[in-house]
Amino acid sequence: MKKRYLFLSLFLLASFVQAKTQYVTKTLPTYSTTEDAKASGKILPTTPLEVIKTQDGKAFVKLTGWNKGKMTRILYFSKGERIISAAFSKKAKYEVKVLKTEEVGTKKDQWSNVTITTWIDNKELTDDLNALYSKAANLYEKNCGLCHAKHPTKEFSANQWPAVIKGMIPRTPLSKEEGLLVTQYAQKHAKK
Ligand code: HEC
């Protein structure tokens, strides 16, 4: 192989490896800098992200999602749906890049497609989204079909599910973390 092709393929391989999408398995704190001990936000389970670099046990990550209006402190998974990917405190430092802005629904709400970069602990990430969804589906099946028949996730919209699940969680032995995972699972398999 000619040297320049070798370099080109190594370069392509490196950029491919770097761009691989990972998914958050458990709610993860975010940090403004690598030195920060105090969390400045959180990323919810099943949220996709890309690791840009790692340093001192932390990872600098890029999340892609949507902001409603000018409110950048909440990153949503999809346009017009209240599926929370990440939430930041008032004091948090993170970078937001707006890719495009669209009007959504009859109220013509402004939603912006953005990327956000922040630091997290370099853990609780997986590239196996299906395994994560299986775990959630299993929790849903075991805990949400005890008293009544299991409601199909397609019965409610992504915006309806959080209130439904919130009212039911106290009746199940699900932990708060498991509840968050089940909520994300139901919202991401909801009626469109
Ligand atoms: C301990 C029993 C019990 C468990 C466990 C339970 N539910 Fe329910 N669920 C009920 C009862 C009773 C109702 C009837 C309405 C009410 O009492 O709120 C209901 C109603 C519902 C409804 C209908 C609400 C509507 O507006 O139509 C949905 C959807 C639902 N549950 C989903 C779930 C989900 C999701 C879970 C798991 C996180 C779950 N349930 C776990 C007892 C339970």
For residues 169-177, average pLDDT:
97
Ligand 1 site, residue 143, Cβ cutoff 6 A: yes
Locate 98 and state its tokens: 């707006």
The model's confidence at residue 16, banded by pLDDT at 50, 70 and 90, is low
CA distance 25 to 127: 10
Comparing 12-21, 98-107, 164-173, which segment has the lowest mean pLDDT? 12-21
pLDDT of 8 strictly over 70: no
Give the model's pLDDT for residue 118: 97
**Residue located nearest, by CA, to atom 24 of ligand 1:** 164
CA distance 172 to 116: 35
The model's confidence at residue 15, banded by pLDDT at 50, 70 and 90, is low
Give the model's pLDDT for residue 10: 63
**Residue (of 32, 9, 27, 37) closest to 118 by Cα position:** 32
What's the whole-number average pLDDT of the chain? 93
CA distance 24 to 130: 12
* pLDDT tens track for 20-69: 899 999 999 999 999 998 999 999 999 999 999 999 999 999 999 999 99
Spatial neighbors of 10 by CB under 8 A, at least 6 apart, are: none
For residues 70-86, average pLDDT:
97
The distance of Cα 165 from the centroid of its chain, to the nearest Å, equals 18
Tally of CB atoms within 10 A around 167: 9
pLDDT of 4 strictly over 80: no
CA distance 19 to 53: 11
Ligand 1 site, residue 169, Cβ cutoff 6 A: yes
Specify whether the CB–CB gap between 118 and 49 falls below 8 A: no
Q: Is the Cα torsion angle 36, 41, 46, 47 positive or negative in sign?
A: negative
CA distance 30 to 44: 11
* pLDDT tens track for 108-153: 999 999 999 999 999 999 999 999 999 999 999 999 999 999 999 9
**Residue (of 123, 99, 121) closest to 112 by Cα position:** 99
**Residue (of 119, 2, 133, 138) closest to 53 by Cα position:** 119
The rounded Å distance from CA 160 to ligand 1 centre is: 14
Ligand 1 pocket test: pick from 141, 142, 148, 187 the residue with the most ligand atoms within 8 Å of its Cβ. Answer: 148
Ligand 1 pocket test: pick from 138, 140, 143, 144 the residue with the most ligand atoms within 8 Å of its Cβ. Answer: 144
The rounded Å distance from CA 87 to ligand 1 centre is: 28
Largest CA distance in the chain: 67
CA distance 116 to 49: 10
